[in-house]
Amino acid sequence: MRKRLAVLVAAAMSLVLAAFLVPLAILLSSVTADRAVTAATAKAQSLTSLVATADARTLRPAVDQLNTTAGHPVTVFLPDGTVLGAPAPRTPGVQLAAVQGSLTVEDADGREILVAVQGLPRGTAVVRAYVDRAELTRGLGSAWLVLAGLGVLLLALGVFVADRLARSIVAPVLELSAVSRRLAGGDLDARARPGGPAEVRSVALALNSLATRIRELVRQEREAVADISHRLRTPLTVLRLDAESLRDADEAERITGHAESLERQVTALIDQARNRDAAPGSCDAAQVVVERVEFWSVLAQDQDREVELLLDPGPLPVAVGATELAACLDALLGNVFAHTPEGTMYAIQLYPAGDVVRLMVEDQGPGFSDVPVRGTSGSGSTGLGLDIARQTARASGGKLSVWPSKPHGARIVIDLGRP
């Protein structure tokens, strides 16, 4: 936009300067030529009185004296054919002036200034002063250069002023763009400084109002999530107390462990909802995956599921917190146990893959025909399991991919960015 405004002003100023300078240059050319012709005419007319009264012998020294001064050569053509002064041919212009009177004749080399002196006994004498082309244009080149320089200077000044004005308009727009990108990146404290034209200030105020509203909505959403999570604490406490009252100590310990794990996840959910603006955490993916695989192995044994594990011993640091990564893996494994028949095998792989750490969960269940959409599921669940995994991958700077498994089933691949 800034460049376009400068080009527009430059084009407009070029037309204005051309309309002003071209006629001025033509006028200078005419004035320069007229000045030379006027000087030559005055020089020729200074001899008319002497030509009318003196004879050739008296007139010759005066003409020679006049030609010794710098300027235009003067020639006197007397009626008897005598030629005095600077050598010159009797041109058609001279012959015409002797008949019609004083006139000016222009040729390719310059101009003849012809002054007729009438009333002589033998006819009409003609005084000729010649102005060559160089004299007609003397100083014109310098004047044109001055005009051209003035035009370039005015054009540069106009473009500079236009650029300054365009900058005062474009700078607030660029700031609005930067603030918009910051808001899109999650910086809800970003605000634009109203400036520039009234329209741009209006947009800045509207953007600030929008950012304030977004922040308020996000705050309400986080508080709602935290409140819902907090309400789960009471039934979890009851569940843990019921588990502790079981007569079978092993069964009580197992269920109590599940309840405590669920309670930790709820606590992490509350903290995550209230501290979402905090800097992303990091953890050792190998350690977290090993812990969650061990946790789910008990249920896998109960359901006669075969498990294939390919876990790098690590450490494999990733740019996501341990709690978030554990919740991600729990969501994926929970989907396996919830949506595949008992006895269905599944596989877990964790290994470095270039700039990322790759986590893959694969099962041999019925699979799905297309990628589930957030909040929808064909199996009666919330449909948020894959979304949790997707958000975790994005938070680390990675991505999630869903592929069919061979011969059937599903393969979930999560690329986790390194810190």
The pLDDT tens digits of the residues spanning 321-334 come to 888 888 888 888 88
Least reliable range by pLDDT among 263-267, 295-299, 311-315: 263-267
Higher pLDDT, 349 or 267: 349
What is the distance between the alpha carbons of residues 378 and 385, in angstroms, rounded to a whole number? 13
Mean pLDDT of the region 360-380 = 60
Q: Which CATH superfamily is domain 279-417 in?
A: Histidine kinase-like ATPase, C-terminal domain (3.30.565.10)
What is the distance between the alpha carbons of residues 392 and 323, in angstroms, rounded to a whole number? 10
Least reliable range by pLDDT among 16-25, 107-116, 207-216, 238-247: 238-247
Q: What are phi and psi of 211, to 5 degrees?
A: -65, -40
Least reliable range by pLDDT among 56-65, 242-251, 275-284: 275-284
* pLDDT at 372 > cutoff 70: no
Higher pLDDT, 353 or 234: 353
Mean pLDDT of the region 269-279 = 58
* pLDDT at 25 > cutoff 60: yes
Mean pLDDT of the region 179-205 = 83
Biggest alpha carbon distance in the chain? 161
Q: What's the pTM value of the predicted model, to 2 decimals?
A: 0.45
Residue 362 · residue 419 · CB < 8 Å: no
Q: Please give the pLDDT value at position 116.
A: 92
Mean pLDDT of the region 202-228 = 82
How many Å from the N-terminal Cα to the C-terminal Cα in the chain?
Answer: 39
Q: For every residue of the chain, which 3-state class applies, written as one string?
A: CHHHHHHHHHHHHHHHHHHHHHHHHHHHHHHHHHHHHHHHHHHHHCCHHHHHHCCHHHHHHHHHHHHHCCCCCEEEECCCCCEEECCCCCCHHHHHHHHHCCEEEECCCEEEEEEEEEEECCEEEEEEEEEEHHHHCCCHHHHHHHHHHHHHHHHHHHHHHHHHHHHHHHHHHHHHHHHHHHHHCCCCCCCCCCCCCHHHHHHHHHHHHHHHHHHHHHHHHHHHHHHHHHHCHHHHHHHHHHHHCCCCHHHHHHHHHHHHHHHHHHHHHHHHHHCCCCCCCCEEHHHHHHHHHHHHHHHHHHCCCCEEEEECCCCCEECCCHHHHHHHHHHHHHHHHHHCCCCCCEEEEEEEECCEEEEEEEECCCCCCCCCCCCCCCCCCCCCHHHHHHHHHHHCCCEEEEEECCCCCEEEEEEEECC
* pLDDT at 376 > cutoff 60: no
Burial of 11 (0-12, 13-18, 19+ CB in 10 A): exposed
* pLDDT at 226 > cutoff 80: no
Higher pLDDT, 385 or 217: 217
Higher pLDDT, 208 or 272: 208
For the chain, percent of residues with pLDDT exceeding 70: 87
Mean pLDDT of the region 172-176 = 84
Q: Where are the domains of the chain?
A: 279-417
* pLDDT at 183 > cutoff 60: yes
Provide the residue type at 330 as one letter.
D
Strand-strand pairing, 307-311 and 346-353 = parallel
Peptide bond into 407 cis (omega under 30): yes
Q: Please give the pLDDT value at position 153.
A: 92
What pLDDT band is residue 280 in, cutting at 50, 70 and 90? low
Looking at the chain, how many residues does it have?
Answer: 419
Q: Please give the pLDDT value at position 415.
A: 92
Q: Please give the pLDDT value at position 413.
A: 92
What is the distance between the alpha carbons of residues 75 and 383, in angstroms, rounded to a whole number? 113
